[in-house]
Structure 1
Amino acid sequence: MYKQKKNEKSTKNKWKRSRSRMYGIGILIVTLCLTACEKEEHRMEEVQLEEVEKSESDSEERQNQSASEVSDGERQPKTIWVYVSGAVCTPGVYELPEGSRLFEALERAGGMTEAADQSFLNQAELLTDGVQIQVPTKEEVASGIAAEANTSGAPGESGKTSQGKVNLNTATKEELMTLPGIGEAKADSILTYRESAGGFQSIEQIKEIEGIKDGVFEKIKERITV
């Protein structure tokens, strides 16, 4: 009897231990499953995050590419058309990049002829679309019938006389800049002086302007009047 009870007790203990192990194994399996699920969920989040970042990167790249294309389009040089006539080798209408100067138009027309008065025009003048550049000959300038160098491209009251001289009291900035040695800065100074002094009384008075001394005056004295 005693041995039988002892065996039964031993069997119960073995069953308890076996059940405990099964519980432990079950808990371990559940833990492993949960861990695997968490890892899979974490991996999916990383994949989704990578996809979002890639999508944002692609979108940004497309925007940059689009901006670059627009920028390239803006950088494409615009052009102007000018008519070069008079004492040049090949008179005609020429296409030039926007921002070109008068000397560049003359080069496109083959340059000035030997008969041209090369000091009559301001070759550094900035050109605008649709202007006509008339290059006079030395004979035309000497006789006082030099063709008017219309580089302003705008109609209106002219500051030049019928003899082609520039009137210091009525000339526009563009017309002043047709004088040899008179660029934009000097033209602005002439206009400022004219306004403050109430006009020019004589052509010699222009020498009172800073930057316009005897050298410049000798070049323009035959081209100006008051």
Structure 2
Amino acid sequence: MKHLLSCLLFTMALITAPVAWSADENTSQATEQVERLSVNINTASEQQLSEQLSGIGPAKAKAIIEYRQANGEFSSPDALMEVKGIGTATLDKNRDRIKV
């Protein structure tokens, strides 16, 4: 009886192990995707800003960089609204992608 129970527990461990490993891989891939989609508004280039932020084209990306050069680094994502042409709607669409 003990042998049967041991075999059963061992079999269950083998069956569930790949599921646990798969979940770890999915979490890792999701984290990598978020990192790729995130953009640091204090260091990003014009191209990075326009490609990775929704509603930010080359002109607004250039304005962000010019504002950053004139006024220093952004202290928070909300400070991005100080840039002419960037309002609440644009900030809200991108809030989860913006890093400072």
TM-score range, shorter chain: 0.5 to 0.7
* Deviation, structure 1 residue 144: 3.7
Matched, 1:204 2:84: no
Matched, 1:173 2:52: no
CA RMSD of aligned residues (A): 1.9
Partner of 1:67: none
Instruction: Give the whole-Å Cα distance in 2 for the aligned partners of 1:190 and 1:216.
Output: 13
Higher RCO, 1 or 2 (CA under 8 Å, sep at least 6)?
2
Partner of 2:66: 192
Structure 1 or 2: larger helix share?
2
Whichever of the two has the greater Rg, that structure is: 1
Runs of 4+ in 1 over 3 A off after TM superposition: none
Equivalenced residues, count: 71
**Structure 2: any 5+ residue segments left out of the alignment?**
1-25
Instruction: Give the whole-Å Cα distance in 1 for the aligned partners of 2:95 and 2:32.
Output: 16
Instruction: Give the whole-Å Cα distance in 1 for the aligned partners of 2:42 and 2:66.
Output: 11
* Deviation, structure 1 residue 146: 1.1
1:146 to 33, 36, 45: 33
Identity level (%):
37
**Structure 1: any 5+ residue segments left out of the alignment?**
1-138, 148-162
Partner of 2:3: none
TM-score by length of 1: 0.30
Structure 1 or 2: larger strand share?
1
Deviations 1:144-183 (A, max 9, x none): 4217xxxxxxxxxxxxxxx221001110110000111000
Instruction: Give the whole-Å Cα distance in 2 for the aligned partners of 1:186 and 1:144.
Output: 28
* Deviation, structure 1 residue 199: 1.0
